[in-house]
Structure 1
Amino acid sequence: MRTEVYQYIRKKPDLHQFLRYNPQWYRRLARNPSSVYEMEKEAKVYYGKTFPQRMERFQDSMNTAMMFLEMMRSFNTK
């Protein structure tokens, strides 16, 4: 693996951890260093950092909060 690619990965702890969990990327990066951006996209999906995944987590937390509020309202009416 090229040193500049390795330094780029070391600067980003999530990428470095992803690389350690997925060793097939060592071989892919050694053969094609420009695929580091592809690995970065895959790591975002793996860690749930894509926009749709973040929106889904936000929606889930909003649903939980709404359910909690409804439960509090039902206790107050009794």
Structure 2
Amino acid sequence: MHPKTYAMIQAKPEYKEFIRFHPEWYRTLTKHPEQIDAFVDASKVYHGQTMPQRIERFQRNMDMALMILKLLK
């Protein structure tokens, strides 16, 4: 694996976890290190760090809070 790619993966625990659960990315990055952006995007989706996933999580939390407030009234 390219040293810069390896250093980037080692720097973030999220990337290390993702590559452990999806070893096909290790093989892909070894052969094609230019696909690091696709790897980062896939990792964000896996960990729920994309903007739509964050908005959905926020909405669920707001719905839960509103339901609790209705129960308390």
Alignment TM class, shorter chain as reference: over 0.9
Match of 2:55 in 1: 55
Could you say what secondary structure the match of 1:66 adopts? helix
Structure with bigger RCO (C-alpha 8 Å, 6+ apart): 2
TM-score, normalization by structure 2: 0.96
Report the count of equivalent residues.
73
- Three-state SS of the structure 1 residue aligned to 2:36 is helix
Any gaps of 5 or more consecutive residues in structure 2? Answer: none
Distance (Å, rounded) in 2 between the aligned partners of 1:47 and 1:36? 16
Query: Unpaired runs of 5+ in structure 1?
Result: 74-78
**Amino acid of the structure 2 residue aligned with 1:23:** P
Higher-Rg structure is 1
- Structure 1 residue 47, shift from structure 2 partner: 0.7
TM-score (norm 1): 0.90
Identity %: 40
